[in-house]
Amino acid sequence: MEILRAENLSKVYRQNTVSLQALRNVSLTVQKGEFVAILGRSGSGKSTLLNILAGLDCPTEGKFCIDGVDLFQLSEEKRTLLRREKVGFVFQSYELLPSLSVMKNIRLPELTADDDYVKELLDALGIGQYERCYPDQLSGGEQQRAAIARALINHPSLLLADEPTGNLDSKTERTVIELLKKLAAKYGTSILLVTHNESLIKDADRVIRLEDGEIVNG
């Protein structure tokens, strides 16, 4: 079952007389439960692509569907609601609110989340004992696990991860990637991860390489 389809996405940034082509005719699909890695160097267009797929930015040209719904044919309000229901986003820098406990950070996108599911996520990620702690009391790896739990709180069909191990040491990086795979298998969530790290792509079901805003394989 196809969860994501992007067709001929292009993105051009313009300022005065200067134009920058960040993406050029990018097409890709992701199936339900699939773990796809997008590999590319800094400046290759990875983050631009991920922001478009998350509905945070609009393409200059092209079409993008989640669960068969064309995201950019919706009003901004409906697009926000669909993104909230269908998409989870994991940032490289965690983006946890320092004034909230781990539990409150995780519940923030869905304050009415079932308590049993919240505890299930915490236990699956190995941070159940930190639910009352604040982000600055956690290690980088523990903060990233909390960020992953927050991204999964709405049972998203698609989890987008932007360099999610970029601030972690190699041992913690391996733990986080293995947890992502485990959670994808358990909840049937599709994962699209962007990275410049060659060592991470062996965990993916499929690898797409991006260079200068274009897919060069995949």
Extents of the domains making up the chain: 2-217
Q: Of all helices (H) and strands (E), which one includes residue 29?
A: strand 18-31
In this prediction, residues 170-186 reach a mean pLDDT of 81
Q: How many CB atoms lie within 10 A of CB 192?
A: 25
The two tokens of residue 31 are 């199936």
pLDDT band at 126 (very low <50, low <70, confident <90, very high): confident
| CATH class of the domain defined by 2-217 | alpha beta
**Confidence band of 111 (pLDDT split at 50, 70, 90):** low
Starting from the edge strand earliest in sequence, which strands make up the sheet with 87-90, in order? 87-90, 158-162, 190-195, 35-39, 206-211, 214-217
> Is residue 218's pLDDT more than 60?
no
Average of per-residue pLDDT across 183-187: 79
Cα separation of 81 and 71, whole Å?
A: 11
Taking residues 171-198, what's their average pLDDT?
84
The pLDDT of residue 183: 76
Average pLDDT estimate for 56-65: 91
Q: What band does 130 get if pLDDT is binned at 50, 70 and 90?
A: very high
DSSP SS3 for 40: coil
Only one residue has tokens 């569907």, namely: 65
**Is pLDDT larger for residue 130 or for residue 115?**
130
pLDDT of residue 107: 87
Mean predicted confidence (pLDDT) in 184-205: 85
Comparing CA positions, the residue from 25, 16, 162, 37 lying closest to residue 87 is: 162
What pLDDT, on a 0 to 100 scale, did the predictor assign at position 113? 67
pLDDT at 110 over 90: no
